[in-house]
Amino acid sequence: MRLVLDTNALVSGLLRSEGPPGRIVDSLLRESFRALYDDRMLAEYEAVLARPKFGFDAASIRIFLGFLCETGERIVAAPLDLRCSDPSDQPFLEVAIEGLGDALVTGNRRHFPRCPVRIVTPADLLKLA
């Protein structure tokens, strides 16, 4: 599968190994699917993971993002006419569509418009597998 992971799903999975987000991060680390990403997404992942409240150290963040770049697929996405209700979600939608992703995994489905890519929660994704 080719998936786009919204920041909330990724961070939730890294913080708590139990539950659907944690199982998805475990699958990512086992390379059970290919993560699609672009530079905007990487910058958001890095900025959010670096927030002191999460407690991740800079070296661990670099290692994780390096793994994601090494095992995932970088997509150069064109801007879309479709708009997310939260503009910070736009890169995730654009990468999912341009990269022909099987799904965009998010805890905030309502932020995304109806579109040609499947928008699922972490729990929904596990039901599909």
Is residue 85 scored above 90 in pLDDT?
no
- Identify the band that residue 107 occupies on the pLDDT scale cut at 50, 70 and 90: confident
Report the alpha-carbon distance of residue 18 to residue 74 in Å, rounded: 28
Q: Has this prediction a pTM greater than 0.85? A: yes
pLDDT average, residue stretch 102-122: 84
Is residue 99 scored above 90 in pLDDT?
yes
Q: Where are the beta strands (DSSP E) in the chain?
A: 2-5, 34-37, 73-74, 103-105, 119-120
- Identify the band that residue 71 occupies on the pLDDT scale cut at 50, 70 and 90: very high
Cβ-based neighbours of 121, under 8 Å, separated by 6 or more: 9, 20, 105, 106, 107, 109
